[in-house]
Amino acid sequence: MGRHPTFLKILEGIFGTSRNKPDLHHGEDLLFLGRYQEALLFFKRVLENDPQNIHALSGIALSLEHLERNKDAIAVYRRILSIDADNSDALLGMAICLEKTGRFEDALSWYENDLKKNPGAPDILVGIGRCCFELKRYQDALRNFESALMQYPDFLDAWIGKGNTLFHMARYEDAAECFGKILELHHEDAGTWVALGRCMSHLGRFEQAITCFEKATELDPGNVAAWFEKGLCLAGWRRNTEAIRAYDRVLDLDPACGAAYYEKGYSLEILGKEAEAAKCYEKARMHGHSSAQSRVHYHFINGYSFY
């Protein structure tokens, strides 16, 4: 969840006034170093003498965000807005924290309020897009991501949002182009290789999909999603023995993955190993997974299909 470029404005605001305030200066240095708990102490010292210091309050809110104390951060942003109702940084911070806590309708309202004060700001547009995506308003999400990219063509979060949205709209070719762009910008991201592989699977390009999943596991050998998707893809290509090996890798990493037990059982059943398949199905049920949740289906005429 990015903060480009408004996040920098907050820190620039602190920098611009902190040089004559040693505690504020120490707090900002610690914030940059990722020492958030320590940074809080220095920002709070500033408030002891100046309870309405916006820069110290902003530093506290940012530190709390990084510590994933989003509800506490929201309270601090409200305090800032009680002092300065038009503080754009606090409006953005409120929106981000509400989004992180799953309050997407509320977050959307705050993003839209901030956008009125900063028309066209790409980070705000992306925030709006993410909330629309979570609310399944895919056309609105897509429009906002594209608006952000028109202004900042290399904005990684906007490409991620656009790719995910297009995928959920079943526009797999277009989504694949987005994930390809992300890999140009950040080619060593295992999650993006998985996302691109899923697009290839849906497009029936199993060989390319497997290459993507293997690239993901090279970068992150413990990536459960990559191993699982590779198994699904191999099963869809009728390479069930190899699929079983991929599911076994998933179960090594996540022994409670009911979906992997079920899909492994399905591949075993296709191979005629019914007793072994039955054991897998039983383990799948123990972990809350049933046939209705299977992601690979076999039809005796049409062959395999996904999802």
- The DSSP string of 150-210 is HH-TT-HHHHHHHHHHHHHTT-HHHHHHHHHHHHHHSTT-HHHHHHHHHHHHHTT-HHHHH
Question: Is the Cβ–Cβ distance between 73 and 59 less than 8 Å?
Answer: no
What are the pLDDT digits (tens) for 215-238?
999 999 999 999 999 999 999 888
Question: Residue 14: its pLDDT value, please?
Answer: 47
- The answer to whether residue 182 is domain-embedded is no
Whose structure tokens read 């530190």? 63
Res 205 pLDDT > 80: yes
pLDDT above 90 covers a percentage of the chain that reads 82
* Structure tokens belonging to residue 43: 């920002």
CATH code of the domain in which 149 resides: 1.25.40.10
Lowest mean pLDDT across 108-122, 252-266, 286-300: 286-300
Tell me the mean pLDDT in the region 103-107. Answer: 97
Question: Residue 3: its pLDDT value, please?
Answer: 55
Res 302 pLDDT > 60: no
Strand partners, 296: 306
Question: How far is 223 from 97, CA to CA, in rounded Å?
Answer: 27
Question: How far is 35 from 26, CA to CA, in rounded Å?
Answer: 11
Same domain, 4 and 112: yes
Res 298 pLDDT > 80: no
Q: What is the DSSP letter of 295?
A: S
Same domain, 23 and 99: yes
132: pLDDT confidence band, cut at 50, 70 and 90? very high
Same domain, 163 and 271: no
Question: How far is 208 from 251, CA to CA, in rounded Å?
Answer: 24
Same domain, 72 and 42: yes
Q: Which residue has the higher pLDDT, 284 or 2?
A: 284
Same domain, 217 and 161: no
- The answer to whether residue 67 is domain-embedded is yes
State the residue range of the domain holding 280.
188-307
- The answer to whether residue 180 is domain-embedded is no
- The answer to whether residue 290 is domain-embedded is yes
Question: Residue 108: its pLDDT value, please?
Answer: 97
288: pLDDT confidence band, cut at 50, 70 and 90? confident
187: pLDDT confidence band, cut at 50, 70 and 90? confident
Same domain, 109 and 144: no
Same domain, 215 and 229: yes
Query: pTM of this prediction?
Result: 0.81
Question: How far is 75 from 171, CA to CA, in rounded Å?
Answer: 40
Same domain, 144 and 222: no
305: pLDDT confidence band, cut at 50, 70 and 90? very low
Res 88 pLDDT > 80: yes
- The answer to whether residue 174 is domain-embedded is no
Same domain, 114 and 127: no
Same domain, 110 and 146: no
What are the pLDDT digits (tens) for 252-266?
999 999 999 999 999
Question: Residue 236: its pLDDT value, please?
Answer: 86
Number of domains composing the chain: 3
- The answer to whether residue 242 is domain-embedded is yes
Strand partners, 304: 298
Question: Is the Cβ–Cβ distance between 229 and 220 less than 8 Å?
Answer: no
Question: Is the Cβ–Cβ distance between 127 and 111 less than 8 Å?
Answer: yes
Same domain, 152 and 106: no
Backbone region of residue 102 per phi and psi (left: phi > 0; alpha: psi in -120 to 50; beta: other values): left
- The answer to whether residue 143 is domain-embedded is yes
188: pLDDT confidence band, cut at 50, 70 and 90? confident
Same domain, 102 and 144: no
Strand partners, 305: 297
Question: Residue 237: its pLDDT value, please?
Answer: 86
Task: Residue 51: count other Cβ atoms within 10 Å of its Cβ.
Answer: 11
What are the pLDDT digits (tens) for 58-81?
999 999 999 999 999 999 999 999
Question: How far is 159 from 179, CA to CA, in rounded Å?
Answer: 7
Taking all residues of the chain, what is their mean pLDDT, rounded to a whole number?
89
Question: Residue 22: its pLDDT value, please?
Answer: 87
294: pLDDT confidence band, cut at 50, 70 and 90? low
Question: Residue 296: its pLDDT value, please?
Answer: 54
- The answer to whether residue 176 is domain-embedded is no
